[in-house]
Amino acid sequence: MRAVAAAALSMTMVAAPPFVVGTMGPGISADLGLSVPALAGTVSFGYLVAAVASPLGGVVVQRVGPSRALRLAAALASLGVALVAVARGPATLALAFVALGMANAVIQPASNGTLATAATGRRQGAVFGIVQSAVPAATLLAGLLLASFDDVRPWREAMVILLVATLLPQIVVPRPAAGSQRVPRRASGRSSLPHRGTLIALCAGGFMGSAAATTVAVFGVASGLSSGLSPAVAAGGLVLGSLCCITGRILTSWRWGDHAPRRLLLDIAGLQATGVLGIALVGTGTTAGYLVGIAFAFGCGWGWTGLLNIVITRVWGGRVASVTGVMQAGLFGGSVAGPLVFAAVVDGTGYLDAWLVAAAALTVAASASVVAGRLVGARHLGEQNEKGPSRVGRR
């Protein structure tokens, strides 16, 4: 289980910096002379780097192995956080997000490569849920940092604390055993992809779902503050949402972890559809709407990534790291587009319309998940006719 803990810790530390920057954004903007759209553009630039580099990140993990890749991702995150802490202008901040983007490009393929053979059935689902809860744990860390300072002005001190935390994976990640450095690949020359259309639908759904979820994580606090909520209440909502997301990812991955890929994708669609309601409630601007909405937006609207990674592991087998890299390009692409579009709408017409756009994006993501489920189901039935019933999971 040390490998699972190492993957979870590494994921948390790599995912945390953009959320901390977003949460402390008003203080960073004031000190560096950046507008809200400019800061959002810098965060999005980091995700753009991750989106472009993710396929290469999958190849790197496939070659060097998950353990070394986890260490590499954590080291890049430490470099990025250090650059944010000493930034005196937009150029240094942009350079920091190059390093953070590269870290994000490596971390998910490394994590999936670590977990692919860690367990089976529901236990495998629980393992994926635990590690995927690292991302909402990163938003929880951002909320706790804001709550501890109760102010956005000491953002450099917050980044120093985060820098120390990003060094922990170098201690925790186990060294690879001899002969186990590389992620195993299928020896067969036949492609293990069931259908290109399935991967396209998954990437499209991941793009739209990530666009919606990232805006909640990055702009949830700022939206609450603009509605008149105190920093403590706004940060408390972020902490509540993060806890709901952590709980949701673990419980759904454990409870549904033995489902067949088609059923898993329909489960994902249901979670995303429920998350739409949460995002709409966040946009009401009321205290109750903010707290209830952010709980559903995080817990359901962002609670599906553990299930998605189980689907990748079940469908693509020995190509887990490389296919994860392709999938991450879609997810990070959404993380680029989401904050940019959201900030532009806020700048033009306000937060209410921006949240409605985010809810529409998550609705499209749910539809794409249904399409992917139908494609996987059709392929599965074809294989059953050729080879007999599948033994992987329940329909």
Render pLDDT for 110-160 as a digit per residue (tens, 0 to 9).
988 888 766 666 777 888 888 888 877 887 888 888 878 877 888 999 999
Looking at residue 391, its pLDDT comes to 42
Looking at residue 395, its pLDDT comes to 45
Band the pLDDT of 390: cuts 50, 70, 90: very low
More confident residue, 269 or 40: 269
Q: Is the pLDDT of residue 325 over 50?
A: yes
CA-wise closest residue to 264 among 364, 129, 393, 383 = 393
Rounded Cα–Cα distance for residues 55 and 46 (Å): 15
Looking at residue 386, its pLDDT comes to 47
In this prediction, residues 317-338 reach a mean pLDDT of 84
CA-wise closest residue to 339 among 12, 45, 8 = 45
Most confidently modeled range among 41-50, 83-92, 175-184:
83-92
Q: Is the pLDDT of residue 379 over 70?
A: no
Band the pLDDT of 383: cuts 50, 70, 90: low
Looking at residue 126, its pLDDT comes to 82
Residue the block writes with tokens 């995927």: 132
CA-wise closest residue to 173 among 77, 78, 71, 104 = 71
Q: Is the pLDDT of residue 376 over 50?
A: yes
In this prediction, residues 193-205 reach a mean pLDDT of 81
pTM of the predicted model as reported, rounded to 2 decimal places = 0.78
Q: Is the pLDDT of residue 278 over 60?
A: yes
Looking at residue 380, its pLDDT comes to 53
Residue 394, strand partner residues: 259
Q: Is the pLDDT of residue 240 over 80?
A: yes
Instruction: Judge whether 53 and 101 are in contact, CB under 8 Å.
Output: yes
Q: How many residues does the chain have?
A: 395
Q: Is the pLDDT of residue 387 over 70?
A: no
Looking at residue 385, its pLDDT comes to 45
Mean pLDDT of the chain: 85
In this prediction, residues 42-56 reach a mean pLDDT of 89
In this prediction, residues 14-27 reach a mean pLDDT of 88
Q: Is the pLDDT of residue 195 over 70?
A: no
With helix as H, strand as E and coil as C, how does 98-114 read? Answer: HHHHHHHHHHHHHHHHH
Looking at residue 121, its pLDDT comes to 67
Q: What percent of the chain has pLDDT over 70?
A: 89
In this prediction, residues 258-278 reach a mean pLDDT of 94
With helix as H, strand as E and coil as C, how does the chain read? Answer: CHHHHHHHHHHHHHHHHHHHHHHCHHHHHHHHCCCHHHHHHHHHHHHHHHHHHHHHHHHHHHHHCHHHHHHHHHHHHHHHHHHHHHCCCHHHHHHHHHHHHHHHHHHHHHHHHHHCCCCCHHHHHHHHHHHHCHHHHHHHHHHHHHHHHCCCCCHHHHHHHHHHHHCCHHHHCCCCCCCCCCCCCCCCCCCCCCCHHHHHHHHHHHHHHHHHHHHHHHHHHHHHHHCCCCHHHHHHHHHHHHHHHHHHHHHHHHHCCCECHHHHHHHHHHHHHHHHHHHHHHCCCCHHHHHHHHHHHHHCCCCCHHHHHHHHHHHHHHHHHHHHHHHHHHHHHHHHHHHHHHHHHHHHHCHHHHHHHHHHHHHHHHHHHHHHHHHHHHHHHHHHHHHCCCCCCEC
